[in-house]
Amino acid sequence: MSKVGKKPIVIPQGVQVDTQGGYFTVKGPKGELKRPYPEKLLTVKVEGDVVTLSPASKSERALVNWGTFRSHLFNMVHGVSEGWKKTLELVGVGYRAEIQGKDLVLAVGFSHPVKIACPEGITFKLEKSIITVEGQNKELVGEISDKIRSVRPPEPYKGKGIKYTDEVVRRKAGKAAKTQA
């Protein structure tokens, strides 16, 4: 039995959940999200302000999808009501970012600036060396944040690069410290 799948999802005020035609459709103050789900494997009940999912059969595939799609639906409800946010930090002398139109332009030690296109539903915010990626779709926010981080991942000797604000970069001693020991 899935511990995650058993939990009911409480729908906040101002959010509507519809499960017709094999799609979760969630509408809220921040927008609308839609995702297909396996109708043959899961039964979805929307009762008042609570949504519960249960497997349609005892098959292994239904049990595997139960918790997964419960998590997807919860992330959609949270996304359209409060939204998702990830923050990244630029660490390094001369590393800077700017927003041109909707796109993010990074100057992180290459001979050219790196431009990150802003997909629909995502917004970039910039405060000094902190980049904030916000949106209603959790997967897209994570994907874009990872794309930004992969431009210049933090290196272990000086810690320079683009890192998540809550990420801890493990530092190495380097050559000079090894010869003295």
pTM value is 0.87
Q: Is 101 left (phi over 0), alpha (psi -120 to 50) or beta?
A: left
Distance CA 147, CA 79 (A): 20
Q: What are the pLDDT tens digits along the chain (181 aa)?
A: 668 888 999 999 999 999 988 899 999 999 999 999 998 999 999 998 999 999 998 889 998 899 999 999 999 999 999 999 999 999 999 999 999 999 999 999 999 999 999 999 999 999 999 999 999 999 999 999 999 999 999 999 998 999 999 999 898 888 876 666 5
Task: Quote the radius of gyration of the chain (alpha carbons, Å).
Answer: 21
Cα-based distances in Å from 89 to 6, 105, 169 = 37, 14, 12
Output DSSP code: residue 172. Answer: P
pLDDT above 70 as % of the chain: 96
- Give the chain's domains with CATH numbers: 3-81 (3.90.930.12), 84-164 (3.90.930.12)
Amino acid at 4: V
Distance CA 44, CA 37 (A): 10
